[in-house]
Amino acid sequence: MEAILAMRVLVADDSPIVQDAITDLLRGADVTTVIRATDGSEAVRLAADGHPDVVILDYDMPGMNGIEAARAIRGRSPEMPLILITAAASEYLIATALTAGFGGFLLKRDVGDDLVRAIDAVRFGATFVSPGAARALYERYLPSARLA
């Protein structure tokens, strides 16, 4: 795993278990500060107050979902690198996330393998879609393609 130096990351997810797992993963990647939020509204406030380098938002949160929170964060900080995590992917959700300004899209099951790569990508302006999420795009646009 590559080291991410001197990073402040905001993690917004309503599940304490998911927050703990991501926090542990990021500590292993030398992230200096993990700011935690339990819903979209809190994420928007903490993104403004905490000045994170990257924001990771769960799609399905109470009140304001991850897409809505991203739009609010982008309204204040247009260049803020954003990553969406979700339990399931669809072509529509991936397109909506990328249109809302997310540079990264990961299925929760791929977080352990791909989160550090996604953070590195979005910090430098690239786009990262985890392999599990990319499968939804292949199935939509290349239904006869056989994926390993």
pLDDT in tens, 46-103: 999 989 999 999 999 999 999 999 999 999 999 999 999 999 888 889 889 989 999 9
Q: What's this model's pTM, rounded to 2 decimal places? A: 0.88
pLDDT band, residue 7 (cuts 50/70/90): confident
- Beta strand 82-86 pairing with 54-58: parallel
Going through 43-137 in order, the beta strands assigned E by DSSP cover: 54-58, 82-86, 104-107, 128-129
